Amino acid sequence: MSRRTMVAAVAGLLALTACGGGSGGADAKELTVVMWGGDDQKRSVAAWIEPWAKSKGVTVKQDSPTDYAKFRAQVESKKVSWGAVEVEPNFAVTACQNGWAVKLDKAKVDTSMVKPELVGDCAAPVLEYAFTIAYNTKAFTAENHPKTWAEFFDTAKFPGKRGFWKYATGAIFEAALLADGVPRDKLYPLDIDRAFRKLDTIKKDIVFYETGEQQQQLISSGETPLIQAWNGRIFAAAKDGQPVANEWNEHFLSYDQLVIPAGYPRADLAMEWLNHFLSDTKGQAQYANQAAYAPVNDKALPLVDPQVRKELPTDPANAKKRAAIIDYTYWAANYDKVTERFNEWMAR
């Protein structure tokens, strides 16, 4: 699952019906891109892909949402219609290790334009975002709200429900360990036993959400006045006049990546677009202005509206407050077993 897969479920089913299917021939100037769907995909394609495609005479097809089982099934059946696919980095690692994804040809994709820690053997970064402490501004003030994960877990000082995403890669374990006193530079490998003990202390106050819309509704209504949030969702809700705000202290930096399924007949065309995208500062800035997710090429930052730039995880003032970057190599190795235990814990 992904942090946005459930957000786009309905839109994704419609998109699969409308634009899924055959590869169209290996020689066709056609590229199929797969993202999480919904308005976010519309913004992404408009900013990142359509201008390039028009200049190159390329027809862009879309599918959504990203589905890891379908990704693997296409590769293993040797019927690959997906081209550039947006994924979480833990899946990118797994796909690369298992031969499900094409290794990037560094002669064709110049990854020197982005931070090396965001690049994988088979993956190029597409955006950066943060898991923040978000709060309802009617329940808490700018001066009096949790500013650390230890305070987030302090239900006596800051009463009310706490919201978390219901998937293991949603930084809930990292937050619990910071709240329990683990130094930020000692988080990985995660002490899962210790994290669960800390989560037990507030379990009765936790509300789990599955989608970004649920996240926004819970915090905007005040039903769950404190939420571990995706920074762009809080940005969007605040822009719509909702009483919400991000606290940037001790946020966790995350990122999405793009991979090409092994066997895609136009892998060279997909790599050509990836190379263009990494250098496309205008397109990255356009998307950032709309979504408040950060461009991966730092040269795009000066092109972002100054007011929006303050809401990006890569803004220098925010970056200084970062707790950690999510270690997706750890999650690639541990996702299945932690997820099984997490699901059992939630069900108890």
CATH superfamily of 129-253+323-347: Periplasmic binding protein-like II (3.40.190.10)
Domain edges within the chain: 6-128+255-320, 129-253+323-347
**Helix (H) / strand (E) containing 317:** helix 316-319
Q: What is the pLDDT of residue 28?
A: 62
Long-range pairs of 7-11 with CB within 8 A, sequence gap ≥ 24: 7/36, 7/37, 7/38, 7/40, 7/65, 7/211, 7/212, 7/213, 8/36, 8/37, 8/38, 8/40, 8/41, 8/64, 8/65, 9/37, 9/65, 11/37, 11/38, 11/64, 11/65
Mean pLDDT of 239-257: 96
Selection from 70, 60, 68, 2 nearest residue 36 by Cα: 2
Q: What is the pLDDT of residue 21?
A: 39
| Separation between Cα atoms, residue 255 and residue 125, nearest integer Å | 7
| Average of per-residue pLDDT values in the chain | 90
pLDDT digits (tens, 9 = 90+) for 110-139: 999 998 989 999 999 999 999 999 999 999
What percentage of the chain exceeds 70 in pLDDT? 92
Distances (CA, A) of 136 to 6, 143, 234: 23, 13, 10
Q: What is the pLDDT of residue 300?
A: 95
Residue 205 CA to chain centroid, in angstroms? Answer: 25
pLDDT digits (tens, 9 = 90+) for 136-192: 999 999 999 999 999 999 999 999 999 999 989 999 999 999 999 999 999 999 999
H helix runs in 231-303, sequence order: 231-239, 267-279, 281-291
Judge whether 6-128+255-320 and 129-253+323-347 match in fold: yes
Do the beta carbons of residue 111 and residue 119 sit within 8 Å? yes
Q: What is the pLDDT of residue 145?
A: 98
Do the beta carbons of residue 250 and residue 133 sit within 8 Å? yes
Q: What is the pLDDT of residue 12?
A: 39
Q: What is the pLDDT of residue 206?
A: 98
Mean pLDDT of 22-49: 76
Q: What is the CATH number of domain 6-128+255-320?
A: 3.40.190.10
